């Protein structure tokens, strides 16, 4: 039998609670619950991903199989980043002066149960030639926009000709320097990445693709091939990983993931702390966990594979990077700075810096507190 095309893999996937119970008999006793959850948040698992699901507890299962916890979370927000209320044109979020987020597809290759746009995906989410036209008009009127981020849904699920049309119209706008595509396709529907698609994308250079991988299990030979096709078309590849409880909330898993990404020429870009989206509370870790993971990455892998750990402020405040506190205390004209091993080093500063860091604890207090030995380097 001829292997299914990517469209075939989408069509033959799991799109209902009934299909889920047919595919995994252990789910049959929970069918009523699954009907209820998928009534609120539809399920979509293409056949490539369905074939990789092993059972409850595996990192892919947790990301894609509906769970009763989704209906138990009532504290989260429907639209945590206020994307809909801040839209100057349909499916446009213009938060930072020089770049816009533009949703050009309402479909995904798989529905992530932790999705920030859970409110729309597979439900009411209009993307039409008219919304796309209005978005492009808005961008062409907004001279300060230099960078357009295409997302959705997943832009790479659009038919190639339609994607080519959108990219061509954006490229014709003189003030648009950079086009970025946010997509989970290389990891969840890798056969969609064809030579023809890569050529289409390359015609819109400078074009960047930010992928989305959350666990080393997603890095299969097919995913490697997909990333290689894009890289060979000259497309710089990044990755936006989401920190997920029970999936990748450990230093070891994250280290393996980041190293494997670099091995595919994918540069880790962001590690997203989970947004406060309703129906996703069971995926949220503490910030302490996230900071510890970033610290563990810093000390064990190359700086090239350490993503920025970011929170997206609720209500549309934008992304803010969080870093572990390396600067520990001030000691007159010296800072006490912790290195990757946790050892303290003195670092001489100028009077302006002393002013900047005035709010820090005094060295004596800090030393007594941590019992840390301070490494004194000879200063010339
Ligand atoms: C994340 C985001 C961007 C892009 O931010 P970068 O830090 O440049 O990657 C732009 N607009 C919105 C609304 C976003 O959420």
Predicted TM-score (pTM) of the model is 0.93
Half-sphere exposure of 41 (CA within 13 A, CB side): 28
Pocket test for ligand 1, best of 96, 145, 177, 267 (most atoms within 8 A of CB): 96
Chunked in runs of 10, what are the mean pLDDT values of the chain (380 residues)?
A: 85 97 96 97 98 95 98 92 89 96 97 95 92 98 98 96 98 98 98 98 98 98 98 98 98 97 98 96 98 92 94 94 92 91 93 88 57 50
- State whether the beta carbon of 96 lies less than 6 angstroms from ligand 1: yes
Longest CA–CA separation in the chain, Å = 75
Residue 368: per-residue pLDDT: 43
* Tally of CB atoms within 10 A around 193: 25
Residue 149, ligand 1, Cβ within 6 A: yes
Report the candidate in 124, 97, 122, 102 with the shortest Cα–Cα distance to residue 112.
Answer: 122
Alpha carbon nearest to ligand 1 atom 8, residue: 99
> For residue 286, what pLDDT is reported?
98
Those residues whose C-beta lies under 8 Å from the C-beta of residue 159, and which sit 6 or more positions away, are none
* Res 371: pLDDT: 47
Ligand 1 center to residue 211 CA distance, Å?
14
Give the pLDDT of residue 75.
87
Query: Would you call the peptide bond into 153 cis, given omega within 30 degrees of 0 as the criterion?
Result: yes
DSSP string, 101-130: EEE-----SB--TT-TTTTTTTSS----HH
pLDDT of residue 110: 98
Catalytic residue ranges: 95-96, 99, 108, 112, 115, 117, 275, 312, 319
Residue located nearest, by CA, to atom 7 of ligand 1: 319
* Cβ pair 151, 122 in contact under 8 A: no
Peptide bond into 210 cis (omega under 30): no
* Domain architecture of the chain: domains with CATH: 84-322 (3.20.20.70), 327-378 (no CATH)
From atom 14 of ligand 1, which residue's Cα is the shortest distance away? Answer: 101
> What are the tokens at 166?
């959108």
The protein residue with its alpha carbon nearest to ligand 1, atom 1, reads 319
Q: What is the pLDDT of residue 379?
A: 39
What atom of ligand 1 comes closest to residue 95's alpha carbon? 13
Is the Cβ atom of 95 under 6 angstroms away from ligand 1?
yes
Of the candidates 242, 244, 182, the one whose C-alpha atom is nearest the C-alpha of residue 211 is: 182
Pocket of ligand 1 contains residue 319 by CB under 6 Å: yes
- Helical packing angle, 195-202 and 160-171, nearest 10°: 10
> Do residues 306 and 297 lie in contact, with contact meaning Cβ atoms separated by under 8 Å?
yes
Q: The sheet that has 99-103: what strands, in order across it?
A: 92-96, 99-103, 147-151, 178-182, 207-211, 237-242, 266-272, 308-313, 318-321
CA 370 – ligand 1 centroid, Å: 38
Transcribe 151-194 into DSSP letters: ESS-GGGS-HHHHHHHHHHHHTSTT--EEEEE-SHHHHSGGG--
- CA neighbours within 13 Å on the CB side: how many for 20? 26
Please answer whether residues 294 and 249 qualify as being in contact, where contact means their C-beta atoms are separated by less than 8 angstroms. Answer: no
Tell which one of 91, 97, 101 to mutate to probe ligand 1, the residue whose CB is within 8 A of the most ligand atoms.
101
Spatial separation of the C-alpha atoms in residues 216 and 230, rounded to whole Å: 19
Q: Is 272 in the pocket of ligand 1 (CB under 6 A)?
A: no
Q: How far apart are CA 81 and CA 276, in angstroms?
A: 9
Count of other CB atoms within 10 angstroms of residue 365: 11
- Cβ–ligand 1 contact at 146 (below 6 Å): no
Residue 21, phi-psi category: left (phi > 0), alpha (psi -120 to 50), beta (remainder):
alpha
Q: What are the φ/ψ torsions at residue 287 (nearest 5 degrees)?
A: -65, -30
The secondary element (H helix, E strand) that includes residue 241 is: strand 237-242
* Cβ(101) – ligand 1 distance below 6 Å: yes
Query: Nearest to residue 337, comparing CAs of 303, 300, 372, 311?
Result: 372
Which tokens belong to 268? 């880790």
Check if 93 has its Cβ closer than 6 Å to any atom of ligand 1. Answer: yes
Which ligand 1 atom is the nearest neighbour of the CA of 81?
15
Question: How far, in Å, is the centroid of ligand 1 from the Cα of 101?
Answer: 7
Distance 49 CA to ligand 1 centre (A): 28
The terminus-to-terminus CA distance of the chain in angstroms comes to 73
Q: Which residue has the tokens 């097919």?
A: 222
């Amino acid at each position: 039998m001829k292997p299914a095309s990517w469209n075939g893999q989408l069509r033959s996937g799991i799109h209902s609670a009934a299909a889920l119970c047919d595919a995994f008999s252990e789910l049959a006793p929970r069918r009523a619950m699954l009907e209820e959850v998928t009534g609120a948040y539809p399920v979509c698992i293409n056949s490539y991903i369905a074939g990789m699901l092993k059972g409850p507890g595996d990192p892919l299962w947790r990301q894609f199989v509906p769970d009763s916890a989704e209906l138990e979370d009532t504290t989260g927000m429907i639209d945590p980043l206020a994307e809909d209320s801040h839209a100057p044109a349909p499916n446009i979020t213009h938060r930072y002066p020089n770049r816009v987020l533009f949703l050009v597809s309402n479909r995904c290759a798989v529905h992530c149960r932790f999705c920030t746009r859970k409110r729309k995906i597979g439900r009411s989410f209009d993307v039409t030639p008219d919304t796309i036209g209005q978005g492009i008009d808005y961008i062409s009127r907004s001279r300060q926009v230099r960078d357009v981020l295409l997302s959705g849904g997943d832009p790479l699920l659009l038919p190639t000709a339609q994607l080519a049309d959108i990219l061509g119209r954006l490229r014709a706008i003189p003030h648009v320097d950079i086009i970025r595509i946010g997509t989970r396709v290389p990891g969840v529907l890798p056969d969609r990445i064809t030579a023809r698609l890569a050529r289409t994308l390359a015609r819109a250079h400078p074009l960047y693709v930010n992928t989305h991988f959350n666990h080393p299990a997603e890095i299969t030979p097919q995913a490697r091939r997909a990333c290689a096709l894009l890289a060979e078309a000259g497309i710089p590849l990044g990755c936006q990983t989401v920190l997920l409880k029970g999936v990748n909330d450990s230093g070891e898993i994250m280290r393996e993931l980041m190293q494997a990404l670099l091995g595919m020429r994918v540069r880790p870009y962001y590690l997203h702390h989970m947004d406060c989206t309703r129906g996703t509370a069971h995926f949220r870790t503490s910030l302490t966990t996230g900071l510890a993971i970033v610290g563990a990455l810093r000390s064990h892998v190359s700086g090239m594979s350490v993503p920025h750990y970011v929170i997206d402020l609720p209500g549309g405040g934008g992304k803010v990077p969080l870093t572990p506190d390396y600067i520990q205390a001030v000691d007159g004209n010296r800072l006490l700075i912790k290195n990757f091993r946790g050892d303290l080093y003195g670092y001489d500063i100028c009077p302006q810096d002393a002013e900047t860091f005035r709010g820090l604890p005094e060295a004596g207090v800090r030393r007594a507190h941590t019992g840390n030995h301070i490494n004194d380097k000879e200063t010339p």
